[in-house]
Amino acid sequence: MAQKKKKKTADNVIAVNRRAQHDYFIEERFEAGLSLQGWEVKSLRAGKCNISEAYVTPKNGEMLLIGATISPLKNSCAFVVCDPTRTRTLLLNRREINKLIGHAQRAGYTIIPLRMYWKGSWAKLEIGLARGKQEHDKRDSIKDKQWQRDKERIMKKSFR
């Protein structure tokens, strides 16, 4: 019997940082692998991850994910000491690391995690090079989003 190909769906997404779009202008996006332990992979498969308070920082020529919480499962960590908020190493090319470090040293730029997802059997993290929004920028974004919503409603009513 022939096997069917799996379609890419929203099931691939593990965690999303929703505040990132509201608080930052995302200039560029990168895909990074994660250096994980076995219990962390099991917890990610169960969807027990939070990246809303996390950030990425360079240290000794590598990128580190700090503040991401991966809650351990009760039945998978009997003999292993689990630290839910441990610092995790991101797997990037040297060229990408140098580019991120160069931009992060500029004033106003930061590197934030946007979403964590599965790509095949590998856990990946989408990180963004971001610049902080000021209060008036946030109001403009909310106004634009509301206008798009109203425009969709108007178009929907006109085609009925």
Task: Tell me the residue type at 124.
Answer: K
In degrees and rounded to multiples of 5, residue 74 shows phi and psi of -70, -35
Q: Is the pLDDT reported for residue 79 higher than 80?
A: no
Task: Please give the model's pTM, rounded to 2 decimal places.
Answer: 0.75
pLDDT of 143: 86
- Strands (DSSP E) found in 1-134: 13-16, 24-34, 49-50, 55-59, 62-66, 69-70, 88-91, 109-119, 122-132
Alpha-carbon distances, residue 147 vs 18, 24, 30, 95 (angstroms): 20, 20, 30, 40
pLDDT in tens, 102-151: 888 877 788 999 999 999 989 999 999 988 777 777 788 888 888 899 98
Pick 75 or 85 by higher pLDDT: 85
> Which residues, including other chains, have CB under 8 Å from residue 160's CB and lie 6 or more apart?
none
Residue in the block written with tokens 């902080």: 132
Quote the radius of gyration of the chain (alpha carbons, Å).
Answer: 19
